[in-house]
């Protein structure tokens, strides 16, 4: 059964200050800054604001059906997620049943958790690091955001392509790869 995601993104943040507040609140670091890779699959049945994401989360691989019904609201995204054991074999299976891999993307994520709230510092190519706050309900996310001193009216919802569109005027849905350039 699809579950609502309750997550809010905050751009233009002071990463060190917020990391300190989260740590001082007693949150535990789930993992340090780690590279994530994601393969996005679509077909004629999975279209519009719905897609399959196969993601290597640095030791754990998940397959998720994501659907955005309202990108302006915290409860506007649903997902069905399972853990899979092998990224390459899962990608092969998805292609064998007719799905097309349309994008390959990288980002970095650092994750902290406390009391049912997950704090992710996400870094994407050519964007400043931002904070994503996820919880079991809108109320829980609002409370966590208030505890950090962030303004909930500044929250952004929906998928990363909307952030690229507004902040960098880029349509990453038209880009087959979204990678960090070699330093």
Residue 170: predicted pLDDT: 97
Residue 71: predicted pLDDT: 85
Residue 48: predicted pLDDT: 61
CB atoms within 10 A of CB 4: 15
Identify which of 177, 70, 62, 173 has the alpha carbon closest to the alpha carbon of residue 109. 62
Give, for 52, the enclosing helix (H) or strand (E). Answer: strand 50-56
Interatomic CA distance for residues 62 and 85, integer angstroms: 8
Structural domain boundaries of the chain? 3-178
The strand pair at 50-56 and 28-42 is best described as antiparallel
What is the chain's pLDDT, residue by residue, as a tens digit (183 residues)?
778 889 999 999 999 999 999 999 999 999 999 999 999 998 876 656 788 999 999 889 999 998 888 888 888 888 999 999 999 999 999 999 999 999 999 999 999 999 999 999 999 999 999 999 999 999 999 999 999 999 999 999 989 999 999 999 999 999 999 999 865
Residue 183: predicted pLDDT: 53
Residue 47: predicted pLDDT: 56
Domain 3-178: CATH class, spelled out = mainly beta
Residue 40: predicted pLDDT: 94
Rounded (5°) CA angle 111-156-120:
0
The strand pair at 3-10 and 117-123 is best described as unpaired
User: What pTM, to 2 d.p., does this model score?
Assistant: 0.91
Identify which of 16, 150, 7, 156 has the alpha carbon closest to the alpha carbon of residue 77. 7
E strands of 115-178, at which residues?
117-123, 130-135, 177-178
Three-class SS of residue 128?
coil
Residue 74: predicted pLDDT: 87
């Amino acid at each position: 059964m699809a579950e609502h995601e309750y997550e809010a993104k905050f751009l233009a943040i002071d990463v060190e200050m917020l990391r300190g507040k989260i740590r001082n609140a007693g949150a535990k670091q789930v993992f340090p800054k780690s590279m994530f890779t994601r393969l996005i699959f679509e077909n004629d049945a999975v279209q519009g604001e719905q897609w399959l994401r196969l993601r290597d989360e640095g030791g754990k691989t998940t397959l998720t059906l994501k659907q955005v019904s309202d990108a302006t609201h915290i409860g506007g995204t649903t997902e069905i997620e399972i853990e899979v054991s092998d990224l390459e074999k899962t990608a092969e299976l998805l292609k064998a049943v007719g799905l097309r891999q349309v994008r390959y993307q990288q980002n970095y994520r650092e994750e902290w958790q406390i009391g049912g709230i997950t704090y992710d510092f996400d870094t994407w190519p050519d964007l400043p690091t931002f904070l994503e706050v996820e919880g079991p309900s809108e109320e829980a996310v609002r409370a966590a955001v208030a505890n950090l001193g962030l303004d909930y009216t500044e929250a952004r919802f929906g998928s990363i392509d909307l952030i690229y569109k507004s902040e960098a005027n880029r349509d990453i849905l038209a880009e087959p790869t979204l990678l960090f350039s070699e330093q």
